[in-house]
Amino acid sequence: MATVVRESPAAAANPLDVSRAELWSEDRWQEPMRQLRTESPIYYCEDSKFGPYWSVTTYKPIQHVEALPKIFSSSWQYGGITVAGDGVDHLKEGEVPMPMFIAMDPPQHTAQRRTVAPAFGPSEIERMRADTQQRTSDLLDTLPVGETFDWVEKVSIELTTDMLAILFDFPWADRHKLTGWSDRLGDIESFGTVEERQARLATAYEMGAAFKELWDHKAKNPGKHDLISIMLQSDAMSHMSHEEFMGNLILLIVGGNDTTRNSMSAYAYGLHRFPDERAKLESNHDPELAVNAMHEIIRWQTPLAHMRRTAMEDTELFGQQIRARDKIALWYASANRDESVFPDGDRIIVDRENARRHLAFGYGIHRCVGARVAELQLTTLISEMQRRRLRVNVEAEPERVHASFVHGYRHMNVTLEKY
């Protein structure tokens, strides 16, 4: 995914430029999104740090765009899947494209996705269930009750890192490296300068070298089901260039890391914000309710605020004229609060009837391949907290991620209490 960040314009920001990171780190994105949904659901923002782009902010048009990948491309060659990308025609010093299948169109996308999908299928999820429960349980048992600690660091990051290490069969003692690489590679706000791009590249190569070692080891020890072994055994992925190999690793690590982590942090923060809903979960331990609450928390948080597409031809989109090569940001965070689908969508309602209709995993051919893993992790966390009758109280407003792509929390001080 090739990405170029332009210098910030000196002029006053357009209040409807929802790609501004501060709207997200200061939790002020809801009002401009509401305005866009009501007045201009397909809106052309003429200038932004990332250049001009369209914002799509309601539910149906996002599904429409995602259902037409021939017209609305995900390809890294045109800028990929975030509003930041400008494509191979605009490569800057220190920028090396690393193709990954989320940023490919059919037929390449189809073949590569088909390779890794079995690692996330129903039978693999069943295989992971007992282990996930054990790991979650063990971790929760180490947490102090009544003492302040950072939930992001001690719970969300730990559980997500363990999950990634298991998916890759990565050396357990080194598993925190996965989180470090992912944090550095996934931050779209941090590669605006040559130095930042070079640092990013160095991280990618460091990660690539570690995985190359693992790849070679697995080539000599075949027959396993982890992601690296699956890639090795497939035609579509075993002959990739080094850059494409790294691109796909970044995808699988970054794709599962921040997102799952931030849904676990949203569990703590969201239920603290809506104590009546927390009370429902505390008084009713029906596993169906825990599953519904999981969907609702993912809807409410929407850990990836947007995905982006590039128009491949002049086309009309719900009354707006789009030109070939225009950037189109699909704001899942807004569609998941579209009043016509999710009434009172700013609130968490753990028994909301249609919570599972959320678009946080996207829609269509690119819909998140790891969704079931993330759902298992979050449902397990909710159920294990219930089983221990543990409640999370958030002690201060959390520190949030400064970006319009990853939507989440850096630090969140909490205390636990027994109910």
Q: Which residues of this protein are in contact with ligand HEM, per CB under 6 A? A: 66, 101-102, 113, 167, 251-252, 255-256, 259-260, 263, 298, 303-304, 307, 360-364, 366-370, 373-374
Residues 6 or more apart whose Cβ sits within 8 Å of residue 371: 120, 361
Nearer to ligand HEM, 85 or 370 (CB): 370
The Cα 187–Cα 80 span in angstroms is 15
The Cα 103–Cα 2 span in angstroms is 10
Closest distance to ligand HEM from the beta carbon of 39 (Å): 25
Nearer to ligand HEM, 192 or 380 (CB): 380
Nearer to ligand HEM, 83 or 374 (CB): 374
Closest distance to ligand HEM from the beta carbon of 371 (Å): 6
User: Helices 371-387 and 158-168 meet at what angle, rounded to 10?
Assistant: 140
Closest distance to ligand HEM from the beta carbon of 151 (Å): 16
Closest distance to ligand HEM from the beta carbon of 187 (Å): 16
Closest distance to ligand HEM from the beta carbon of 163 (Å): 7
What is the full DSSP assignment across 30-48?
Answer: HHHHHHHHHH-SEEEE---
According to DSSP, the β-strands at 149-150 and 72-73 are unpaired
Closest distance to ligand HEM from the beta carbon of 368 (Å): 3
Closest distance to ligand HEM from the beta carbon of 255 (Å): 3
List, in sequence order, every residue forming a beta bridge with 315; answer none if it has no partner.
Answer: 322
User: Helices 242-273 and 275-283 meet at what angle, rounded to 10?
Assistant: 90
- Residue 293: name the closest of 311, 278, 303, 314 by CA: 278
Closest distance to ligand HEM from the beta carbon of 167 (Å): 6
Nearer to ligand HEM, 5 or 65 (CB): 65
Closest distance to ligand HEM from the beta carbon of 309 (Å): 8
Nearer to ligand HEM, 192 or 360 (CB): 360
Nearer to ligand HEM, 277 or 375 (CB): 375
How many CB atoms within 10 Å of residue 27? Answer: 11
Nearer to ligand HEM, 25 or 257 (CB): 257
Nearer to ligand HEM, 87 or 370 (CB): 370
Nearer to ligand HEM, 259 or 310 (CB): 259
- Residue 372: name the closest of 218, 364, 380 by CA: 380
At 175, the amino acid letter reads R
What is the full DSSP assignment across 219-274?
Answer: HHS----SHHHHHHT-HHHHT--HHHHHHHHHHHHHHHHHHHHHHHHHHHHHHHH-
According to DSSP, the β-strands at 149-150 and 306-311 are unpaired
Question: Per the structure block, which two tokens stand in for 199?
Answer: 């640092």
User: Helices 242-273 and 176-186 meet at what angle, rounded to 10?
Assistant: 90
